[in-house]
Amino acid sequence: MKILSTLLYLLLVLIVTALPSLGAEAPALAPPDENIHIKADTMTQGPVAGEVTASGNVVMTWQGLSLAADHARYDNTTHVLFADGHVVLTKGNDVMKGESFTMNLESGRGEMDKAVISVPESNFSVTGEKIVRLNESQYEATETEITTCDLPDPSWKFGTSALKVNTAGYATGRNIIFYIKDIPVLYFPWIAFPASRDKKSGLLFPRFAQSSSRGYQVSIPLYLVISPSQDVQVDLDLMSKRGAGVGLDYRYIRVRGSEGRFGGYLIHDQSLNLWRGQIGESHREIFSPDMNLRVDINYTTDRTFLTDFGVKSGDYNRQANNSLINVLKTWQHYAAAGYLSQTGDLYAKDNRATLQTLPALEVAGVRQPVFKTPLYFDIDASLANLYRETAPSGQRAHLFPRVTYQRSLDGYLHASLFAGLHVRGYATDKRDINSPVKSSDGDLLPEASARVSTSLTRVYDAGGDVLKKIRHEIVPEVSYSYLPERSQEHLPFYDYTDRMVWQNMLGFSVTSLINGKFVSGETSEYREISRQKLSLGYSIEGGRRDLLTLVDTQNSSWSDLILESDTWLNRNMRLTFDSRYNLYDKRLSTLALGVDADDRKGNSIGAGYHMARDQVEYLEGHLSTKLLKPFNLSYTARYSFDRGDFLDSVYSVEYRHKCWSIHVAIHQRPDNQSYSFGFNLAGVGGI
């Protein structure tokens, strides 16, 4: 998006990499020594001592450069090299052509008349009446034109009457004009931009948009380099319906891989006559390989800020602002974490009833053998201060030690049995809003579970040219879980940890795994082809908690029949399926179906259907193709059946030429419609 990058690339890559090499060392007496070599049809000693003249198919090479010309002359006394007639100077793949070329190999000053410079890697072409190298870091160019289109009739170009470049700092240009064909479109009387390979501060091109909620919008970004490990971008947004806003994006890198990013946005919303904004911070501090700190802060001034100013899915429809500060320390068998968590519920009327964790401490011990027995011990423990303005609020301690017995019978039958004890303790500041009296409660609740499984495996010869072998594995499993019936109404309720469900339940599942051996030439790889799992639960007594089953689980013994499937129809196409079927209502409780295909050549298509009975039902899809060259088309949408309307849609068309492209997009939401237009110059960037 930066016009200025073009000029930087011109002077820096083409001239800086080529011409400085010419003056690195002056050759010795003529005829040329081993530092400079000349081939020509004829080569004579000039009338002046130390002068060599070459004519006809002249080729000179020195220090990685090659110069071809009709005529060339080198004076060892003055150290001046002169060439004319179809001059071609080459370094690597970069080529500079001109009518005449002069350079003083001792001082480093050089110039080329009517020069044309080409860089095949970026397709850059530069023409200039004269390009002058003053010294190792300073250059001047006059009547220069720059383009990435094919010469001699480029579709676009930049023209400047005068350009001065300091490769250690900035380049400054006067009277810069952007042309489409030969028609001037934009004019800059003066401009300065970074001319160093290092990052430099400077203005970026503005961005343009229009939407029904914000009106016409122009964003002017300023990029500032603070240090090699810090930079910041400041954006000034001007919106016809909302007013002026300022955005900030600050990035930094610290020692040991620590890094972070801080951003914010502030606007005086003229439609509401109100200051509005957001703050975001993401930081990772690595103290040592086994200790780190992570910080994620998200805050908005009001609940509808993201709805009004968010521009992509996941922002404008975010349900909550979650902020977390977490410290983690690990040892060989244990891990400890301390964290603070704050949630802003954007869908609630206010945040008074939203539970906050300020702070919490968690300790986990991984499974370890108990001496030399077949028993294993592990433990989870937590202590949390749970706060909200409404009741209840207070402190909770939860300790869950477990002992597990594992056994494998002849490698075919695998069995495990565990028993644990939930130890819960509470110090409640206020049990309800009318009785803010401190109280303490506790509870002991045992839990036990058992699993038995086996694995049946067979390998088949596929006999295909690519697919050689298929491995099919079937894993049946039976499980049992038990939690005794126990009234827990005397405990405060914060989350489901405080209301564990009475369970006496059997579980049944069968998992089918299909993997293939694929051969291509002399290489082979093993890939997953398909994975299906069918599971079902039966409650002997008690109940269960299944958040995805919207039925009364207390009065139904059988759980939903669950089918999960993930299948690769081929290397480029994937099918996913997840369903829950209620045996009593004889209908689906939930369904998620998706298919995606991508040829890895810019063409992809996908669709997904999501349903939770009597709750949500929507269809989503996306399409992107480059088959209709020079057009690139894309479309994404989500349609809600329960709302009878599209949740969002994005239509996008790009026309791509060899050296430029145009991008047009329409963004539609129920509460906002916006349009964007992009114009991109190959090798330069876009607007």
The pLDDT tens digits of the residues spanning 74-87 come to 888 888 889 999 99
Domain boundaries, the chain: 3-200, 615-687
How much is the average pLDDT of 171-186? 84
3-class secondary-structure state, position 268: strand
Could you give the CA distance from residue 88 to residue 9 in angstroms, rounded to a whole number?
A: 20
Structure tokens that stand for 352 in this block: 């008074």
pLDDT reading at 2 higher than 60: no
Could you give the CA distance from residue 563 to residue 503 in angstroms, rounded to a whole number?
A: 23
Asked whether 51 and 29 are in contact (CB, 8 A), the reply is no
- pLDDT in the model for residue 517: 93
List of E strands, 46-123:
51-62, 65-75, 80-91, 94-104, 110-119
- pLDDT in the model for residue 652: 94
Residues in the chain: 687
The pLDDT tens digits of the residues spanning 291-309 come to 999 999 999 999 899 988 8
- pLDDT in the model for residue 10: 35
- pLDDT in the model for residue 235: 93
Higher pLDDT, 190 or 372: 372
Could you give the CA distance from residue 498 to residue 433 in angstroms, rounded to a whole number?
A: 19
Could you give the CA distance from residue 624 to residue 183 in angstroms, rounded to a whole number?
A: 34
How much is the average pLDDT of 420-449? 87
CATH of the structural domain 3-200, one choice from 3.20.20.20, 3.20.20.10, 2.60.450.10, 3.40.50.300:
2.60.450.10
3-class secondary-structure state, position 351: coil
Could you give the CA distance from residue 416 to residue 376 in angstroms, rounded to a whole number?
A: 10
> Which residue type sits at 332?
Q
pLDDT reading at 72 higher than 50: yes
- pLDDT in the model for residue 554: 58
pLDDT reading at 11 higher than 50: no
How much is the average pLDDT of 315-337? 93
DSSP alpha helices (H): ranges in 298-422? 305-309
- pLDDT in the model for residue 32: 40
Q: How confident is the model at residue 21 (pLDDT cuts 50, 70, 90)?
A: very low
- pLDDT in the model for residue 33: 42
Beta-carbon count within 10 A of 186 CB: 12
Asked whether 220 and 245 are in contact (CB, 8 A), the reply is no
Q: What is the DSSP string of 530-552?
A: EEEEEEEEEEEEE----TT--S-
Torsions phi, psi of 243, nearest 5? 110, -155
pLDDT reading at 504 higher than 60: yes
The pLDDT tens digits of the residues spanning 96-152 come to 788 999 988 777 788 989 888 776 665 667 788 888 877 766 778 888 887 878 888
Give the torsion sign (CA, 619, 625, 628, 631).
positive
Could you give the CA distance from residue 208 to residue 675 in angstroms, rounded to a whole number?
A: 9
Could you give the CA distance from residue 58 to residue 71 in angstroms, rounded to a whole number?
A: 6
- pLDDT in the model for residue 34: 45
Q: 69-83, 164-178, 601-615 — which is least confidently predicted?
A: 164-178
Average predicted confidence (pLDDT) for the chain: 85
- pLDDT in the model for residue 35: 67
Could you give the CA distance from residue 114 to residue 76 in angstroms, rounded to a whole number?
A: 26
Q: How confident is the model at residue 167 (pLDDT cuts 50, 70, 90)?
A: low
Proportion of the chain above pLDDT 70, given as a percent: 87
How much is the average pLDDT of 188-212? 71
Structure tokens that stand for 640 in this block: 């809600």
Higher pLDDT, 19 or 221: 221
- pLDDT in the model for residue 435: 64
pLDDT reading at 524 higher than 60: yes
Query: Who's near 102: CB < 8 A, 6+ residues apart?
Result: 80, 81, 82, 83, 110, 111, 112
Q: How confident is the model at residue 9 (pLDDT cuts 50, 70, 90)?
A: very low
Could you give the CA distance from residue 279 to residue 263 in angstroms, rounded to a whole number?
A: 6
Could you give the CA distance from residue 258 to residue 122 in angstroms, rounded to a whole number?
A: 34
Q: 529-533, 566-570, 657-661 — which is least confidently predicted?
A: 657-661
Distances (CA, A) of 284 to 255, 287, 444: 11, 10, 38
Q: How confident is the model at residue 590 (pLDDT cuts 50, 70, 90)?
A: very high
User: Furthest-apart CA pair in the chain: how many Å?
Assistant: 114
Could you give the CA distance from residue 410 to residue 408 in angstroms, rounded to a whole number?
A: 6
